[in-house]
A and B are shown apart, each in its own frame.
Chain A
Amino acid sequence: MNSTNLQQRRLKDIVLSGEGHAFDSKTGRSYSINGTGRVALTMLQDGASREAVVDALIGLCGQPLAVVEAGIDAFMGQMARVAS
Chain B
Amino acid sequence: MIHHADLHHWTRWNVAVTGMNARPDNPGPGCAVARCLREASGFRGRIVGLGYETLDPGLYRRETCDSGYLLPYPATGAAALLERLDEILRGERIDALVPCLDAELPNFIAIESELNRRGVQLLLPQRRQLRRRDKDALPALCLEAGVATPRVRRLADENFFDDCAADGWDYPLVVKGVFYDAYVVHSADEARLRFRQLAAAWGYPILVQEFVGGEEVNLTALGDGSGAMFGPVMMKKQALTDKGKAWAGVAIDDPDLLAAGTRLFAALKWNGPLELEMLRDEDGTLHLIEINPRFPAWIYLTHGVGRNLPAALLALMQGERPERLDLAPPRPGTTFIRYAQEAIVTLDDIANLTVNGRTPHAPAAMRRAA
Contact = CB atoms under 8 A, between A and B. Distances in A.
Contacts of A28: 215, 217, 235-236, 238, 249-252, 332
B255 interface: yes
Interface in A24-66: 25-28
Chain B interface, >50% SS class: strand
A28 B334 CA distance: 10
Contact of A25 (B249, B252, B256, B280): B252
* Chain B interface bracket (under 10, 10 to 19, 20 to 34, 35 or more): 10 to 19
A77 to B, nearest CB: 18
Contacts of B255: 26
Contact of A27 (B249, B251, B254): B254
Given A26-B254, A27-B252, A15 B332 contact: yes
A54 B251 CA distance: 34
Chain A interface, >50% SS class: loop
Nearest to B255: A26
B284 interface: yes
Given A13-B253, A84-B284, A25 B333 contact: yes
B131 to A, nearest CB: 32
A75 interface: no
Nearest to B238: A28
* Chain A interface bracket (under 10, 10 to 19, 20 to 34, 35 or more): under 10
Contacts of B215: 27-28
B123 to A, nearest CB: 29
Most buried by A among B249, B254, B256, B280: B254
B253 A23 contact: no
B236 A27 contact: yes
Contacts of B251: 28
A15 B333 contact: yes
A28 B235 CA distance: 8
Most buried by B among A27, A28, A84: A28
Nearest to B331: A25
A25 B284 CA distance: 15
Nearest to B253: A25
A28 B256 CA distance: 14
A23 B332 contact: yes
Interface string B203-217: 000000000000101
Most buried by A among B215, B250, B280: B250
A27 B332 CA distance: 10
Contacts of A23: 332-333
Contacts of B252: 25-28
A26 B217 CA distance: 10
Interface in B231-269: 235-236, 238, 249-256
A15 B251 CA distance: 13
Given A25-B333, A26-B253, A27-B254, 5 more contacts: A15-B332, A23-B332, A26-B255, A27-B215, A28-B250
**Top 6 closest A-B pairs, CB basis?**
A28-B236, A25-B332, A28-B252, A28-B250, A25-B253, A26-B254
Interface of B: 215, 217, 235-236, 238, 249-256, 280, 284, 332-333
7 contacts: A15-B332, A23-B332, A26-B252, A26-B254, A28-B236, A28-B249, A84-B284
